[in-house]
Homo-oligomer: A and B are copies of this chain.
Amino acid sequence: MHSSAEENYLKAIYKLQEANGEMVATSALAQVLGIHMASVTDMLKKMSAKKLVAYQKSKGFKLTEKGRLAAIGIIRKHRLWEVFLVDKLGFRWDEVHEIAEQLEHIHSQELIDKLDAYLDFPKADPHGDPIPDAKGNFALNKSVLLAALPPGSQGKFTGVTDHSSAFLNYLDKIGLSLGDPVKVKEVEEYDKNYTLMLKGKKAVVVSFKVANSLLISE
């Protein structure tokens, strides 16, 4: 069994690899974990010994297959708990991350299997992030950033790339929820503001920053 600290490292490394490709730097990991580089060097030596990460001196490191599977397991737990918190307990989507950050470290395969079934095998968490199945497979999701779409395009809002409370609350405020239809009505060339047509023919104007944090499918 891995410690919570190890599990947080695994998850962080996995996400850095996802975002930036292959090798991960000590400094990057230190930054996202809010930990000093010397500590990261320490921990990675231990995780190397356990064959969770593969070290390549001065090139960085990456997860081994064993490490990758462990990381996906944590992510699966995190996201299933988030679904539970929102769907069953009634938390808002901007409130669940911190609590799931703790719940993801509960060790019980039986528990997570039953939770998955209880939630009816959800495919995505409250932020639209895909939930890997029990074998560690993600459902292919071919969404694109709204900011990449030309005027006239339409699709369904299925995820965010900014998970901050500030952003999630902003979306609540303009009345945009996961699964809603969205149409790009107009893109202002000068400042790249997007005029969107939301559910119920509601038009809203959002900045490029916002358009660049919305994932659209279909």
Contacts and interface: CB of A to CB of B under 8 A. Distances in A.
Nearest to A90: B114
A114 B102 CA distance: 16
A99 interface: yes
A88 interface: yes
A106 interface: yes
A108 B99 contact: yes
B103 A106 contact: yes
A107 interface: yes
A103 B106 CA distance: 7
What does DSSP make chain A's interface, helix, strand, loop or mixed? helix
Copies of the chain in the assembly? 2
Nearest to A115: B89
Interface of A: 85, 88-91, 95, 98-99, 102-103, 106-108, 110-111, 114-115, 118
A118 B89 contact: yes
Nearest to A107: B102
14 contacts: A85-B111, A88-B88, A88-B118, A89-B111, A89-B115, A90-B114, A91-B110, A95-B110, A99-B106, A99-B110, A99-B111, A102-B106, A102-B107, A103-B106
Given A88-B118, A102-B107, A102-B108, 16 more contacts: A85-B111, A89-B111, A89-B114, A89-B115, A89-B118, A90-B114, A90-B118, A91-B110, A91-B114, A99-B106, A99-B108, A99-B110, A99-B111, A102-B106, A103-B106, A106-B106
